[in-house]
Amino acid sequence: MAGSTLFDLTGKVAAVIGGASGIGEAVARGAAQLGARVTILDANEEAARSVASAIGGDAARLDIRRAGEVQDAFAGIAAAHGQLDIVICTPSINVRKPIVRYEEAEFDRVVDVNLKGSFNVLQAAGRLMTTQKARGGSIVIFSSIRSQVVEPGQSVYAMTKAGIVQLVRTAAVEFGAHGVRVNAIGPGVVETPLTAPIKANAAWYAAYANKSALGRWARAEEMVGPTLFLASDAASYVTGTILFADGGWTAIDGRFAPPGM
């Protein structure tokens, strides 16, 4: 494969879930620039249609908590374009609370979106892509550094992000014989509308920036390359893994530099 075409998505049909804003929007725009026909699926249909219009794609409302909706959305894309090659799922929510103060409704809400929603996406994409014979496909689900490392108040969120990694590994094993690859992305801290409240707290913002090896937060656009690498033929032998795009966060065990270092 020529180096100039490794990341080319021309002729590919992609569904980007959560593509109306933040990381999902950046990924949707990047996929379109690389030649993919992109459908943006998002709970905010108006915003999804705005982004789709800007990139020459399609859009529809989707609640990933509802398995039937996810299945119908993917079937609709495949019917309209004759195939579905790439599925990227970015949405998640978090309720920051100590374990002893967590309420059942909060637990259910986080698990429903992050874990059940990701399962619904994997299941629906797998059912479709494993029947596409020689076409196969690539599924990329967003996990987090919280699948590996935690802090106070992150119990349920971290649990779901770790669960996503195991779902991805299992799906990779089950779908691999059909040429379908399944991987996860593990972002660190990324500047998006959802993290704006943290950014507004100077001490909190600085603590997160200083935890990474690069000493800063990521921009949403910096998640595009890792995500589309996994989606593209450049990663044709990569499946069942998590790619950390965390600025070195998970590589660091504390920030103290011993004398003479």
Which pLDDT score, from 0 to 100, does residue 254 have? 74
Give the tens place of pLDDT for each residue, 77-128. 999 999 999 999 999 999 999 999 999 999 999 999 999 999 999 999 999 9
**Smallest Cα–Cα separation from 94: which of 174, 26, 157, 44?**
157
The confidence score (pLDDT) of residue 261 equals 62
Domain spans in the chain, listed from the N-terminal domain onward:
10-247
Q: Are the C-beta atoms of 35 and 13 separated by less than 8 Å?
A: no
Indicate the pTM of the whole model: 0.95
pLDDT for the residue numbered 193: 79
CA atoms within 13 A on the CB side of 116: 13
Which regions in the chain score pLDDT beneath 70?
A: 1-4, 255-258, 260-261
Specify the pLDDT at position 192. Answer: 87
d(CA 150, CA 155): 8
The residues assigned a catalytic role are 157
Q: What is the pLDDT of residue 135?
A: 82
Q: Which CATH class is domain 10-247?
A: alpha beta
Contact 145, 187 (CB under 8 A): yes
Do the Cβ atoms of 64 and 91 come closer than 8 Å?
yes
C-alpha span between 113 and 67 (Å, rounded): 11
Here the tokens at position 148 are 């590996």
> How high is the pLDDT of residue 4?
67
pLDDT at 195: 84
Tell me, what's the pLDDT at 1? Answer: 55
